[in-house]
């Protein structure tokens, strides 16, 4: 593809983004970052002492996916669980700050809001502390989640499911949610938890990383032929239209029934932190498909978005303007 034709394609890619309503169903989290310096080892244990200098709270999990969609100009509607605790109040405040409608959040008494606390010395993560209850939601609470989801479908342009294995996406909720969305002809994208992989049948696309795909297939991959074998097998087993395996520095591989495997090379340059990269990938490709791009083009756009987000420390939502700038750099370079 020439530079001129690339520039034209990139303009079309960017113009596809924004203005669409995408329902995001999944595990909602808070990401808390404690930034500081480590200048000595504790006398109590062989661990660094981090002197905290600042604290940052971000939306995590499915909420970070929704934030990525919003940065691209879409209108995400978030559905999932929270606890009935102070962390839930903080989450509500962060959602309000970013202009989200939080009516799709179901508060469950006695269940903690999922929170990941990362302690960093400079740009190096020292430790992560998780606060969670990953038991699967059931009974009336599951019914409330499904009710919020189904009420949002009539105005939806696409559905995105973000599974971090924190209990929101029980087998029953997944089955009913996917069936309801597909019955309306909606594009359904899924970032699956490796242990829940086979719950997601007949969806539009799944976006596991290399480790998750190997886990689901029950085998290790040593070469391209092995990767193509498990990608093809998993897509066929699940009846998915597409399967996208993200492969870090090796790029992405797209599998479909209508074309041979499509290996998309990485465009990453400076990688500081892969936190949230999967969220950016699935958000960008879903936004692009909702805007009319075909899936292979949408995956290439998502690949460029990942280039931008891994250059930041912590999760990062790439804007339309930043994505356009990244595309321009690729044409120039």
* Strands 75-83 and 21-26, bridge-based pairing: parallel
279 is an active site residue: yes
Asked if residues 74 and 17 have their Cβ atoms less than 8 Å apart, the reply is yes
**Residue 274 CB coordination number (10 Å):** 16
Three-state secondary structure call for residue 126: strand
Q: 3-class secondary structure for 165-225?
A: CCCCCCHHHHHHHHHHHHHCCCEEEEECCHHHHHHCCCCCEECCEHHHHHHHHCCCCCCHH
- Residue 135 DSSP one-character state: P
Among the options 31, 141, 273, 279, which is catalytic? 279
Q: How far apart are CA 241 and CA 235, in angstroms?
A: 7
Q: How far apart are CA 269 and CA 272, in angstroms?
A: 10
Which tokens go with 154? 């009539």
Asked if residues 20 and 290 have their Cβ atoms less than 8 Å apart, the reply is yes
Provide the b/e sequence for 307-324 (b: ≥16 CB within 10 Å): bbbbbbbbbbbbbbebbb
Q: Which residues are designated catalytic?
A: 279
């Amino acid at each position: 593809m020439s530079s001129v034709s690339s520039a034209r394609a990139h303009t079309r890619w960017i113009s596809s983004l924004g203005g669409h309503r995408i329902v995001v169903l999944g595990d909602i989290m808070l990401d808390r970052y404690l930034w500081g310096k480590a200048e000595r080892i504790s006398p109590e244990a062989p661990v660094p002492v981090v002197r905290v200098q600042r604290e940052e709270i971000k939306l995590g999990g499915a909420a970070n996916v929704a934030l990525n969609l919003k940065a691209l100009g879409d209108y995400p509607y978030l559905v999932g669980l929270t606890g009935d605790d102070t962390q839930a109040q903080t989450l509500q405040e962060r959602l309000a700050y970013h202009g989200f409608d939080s009516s799709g959040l179901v508060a469950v008494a006695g269940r903690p809001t999922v929170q990941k606390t990362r302690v960093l010395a400079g740009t190096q993560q020292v430790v992560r502390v998780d606060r969670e209850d990953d038991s699967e939601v059931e009974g009336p609470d599951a019914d409330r989640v499904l009710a919020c989801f189904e009420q949002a479908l009539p105005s939806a342009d696409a559905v995105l499911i973000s599974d971090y294995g924190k209990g929101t996406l029980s087998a029953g909720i997944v089955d009913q949610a996917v069936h309801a969305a597909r019955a309306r002809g909606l594009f359904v994208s899924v970032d699956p938890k490796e242990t829940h992989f086979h719950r997601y049948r007949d969806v539009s696309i799944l976006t596991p990383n290399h480790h998750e795909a190997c886990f689901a297939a029950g085998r290790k991959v040593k070469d391209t032929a092995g990767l193509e074998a498990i990608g093809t097998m998993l897509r066929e087993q699940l009846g998915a239209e597409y399967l996208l395996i993200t492969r870090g520095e090796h790029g992405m591989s797209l599998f479909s029934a209508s074309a041979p495997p499509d290996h998309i090379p990485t465009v990453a340059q400076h990688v500081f932190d892969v936190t949230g990269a999967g969220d950016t990938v699935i958000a960008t490709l879903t936004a692009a498909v909702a805007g009319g791009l075909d899936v292979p083009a949408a995956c290439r756009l998502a690949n460029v978005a990942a280039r931008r987000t891994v250059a930041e420390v912590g999760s990062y939502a790439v804007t339309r303007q930043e994505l356009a700038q990244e595309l321009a750099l690729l044409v120039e370079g």
